[in-house]
Amino acid sequence: MSGVGHSEQLDKACAALGLSLESAQSAALLEYMGLIQKWTKVYNLTAVRDPAEMLTHHLFDSLAAIAPLQKQLAVQQAAGVCGDKPRLLDVGSGAGLPGIVIAICFPHITVHCVDTVAKKAAFIQQVAVTLKLPNLRGIHARVESLSEPYDVVSSRAFASLVDFATWSEKALAEQGVWMGMKGKHPADEMAALSPSVEVFHVEQLVVPGLDAERCIVWMRKRAVN
């Protein structure tokens, strides 16, 4: 995906979201969208095929999480529970959303994208090679099988908050946080969470060009007294 139009739209969206990306990062994001389009023709990575919709529904939607993630990591680092090279696991990553977007925006974050579908994990590996992203890796596995600790475990339109937290619990560092990207405020899902999981913030998002409700549900393991 390239062209002046898409580049201008991306610049405007970043400005609206308060993001200042380097030109190489913007170019990488657009090239990534182009790779999704190319692979989707063969492998059906995503139901969204229209390039304009891909920008808003996939790219801008993922970019809306960048500033909140940066803020949350700063809090964790200030508290001494996260180093200067955080590790993030993106669960049910599919075509790599938001994991690949995070890897492009934050070269210092190690991003692992896990998916049970082999072709999706292979696509993420291909993106890592094509865009020269040494901090990105695609993993073909069930998230329940992963137990090395991550500072942040993210998901976007993956599963209910209950399933997301339950399945990925072993992969979350003791002082880590879950970043659940959702549409409408998921009050019912939050109410169904295990007592061992604490929601500490629900952050409303505004996605440029997308007339739909979006939020991040921030969760952590509840401290045991």
- Cβ pair 43, 123 in contact under 8 A: yes
Q: Determine the pLDDT at residue 225.
A: 63
pLDDT for the residue 82 = 92
Q: Rounded to the nearest 5 degrees, what angle is found at the Cα of 160, between the Cα atoms of 211 and 225?
A: 120
Interatomic CA distance for residues 180 and 161, integer angstroms: 7
Output the pLDDT for position 216.
98
The reply to whether the predicted model has a pTM over 0.85 is: yes
* pLDDT score recorded for residue 42: 78
d(CA 181, CA 161): 10
What does the pLDDT profile of the chain (225 residues) look like in tens digits?
555 579 999 999 999 999 999 999 999 999 999 999 888 887 777 767 777 788 998 999 999 999 999 999 999 999 999 999 999 999 998 899 999 999 999 999 999 999 999 999 999 999 999 999 999 999 999 999 999 999 999 999 889 999 999 999 999 999 999 999 999 999 999 999 999 999 999 999 999 999 999 999 999 999 876
114 touches 89 (CB < 8 A): yes
Q: What is the C-alpha to C-alpha distance for residues 68 and 70, in angstroms, rounded to an integer?
A: 5
The pLDDT of residue 1 is: 52
* Local structure of 37: helix, strand or coil: helix
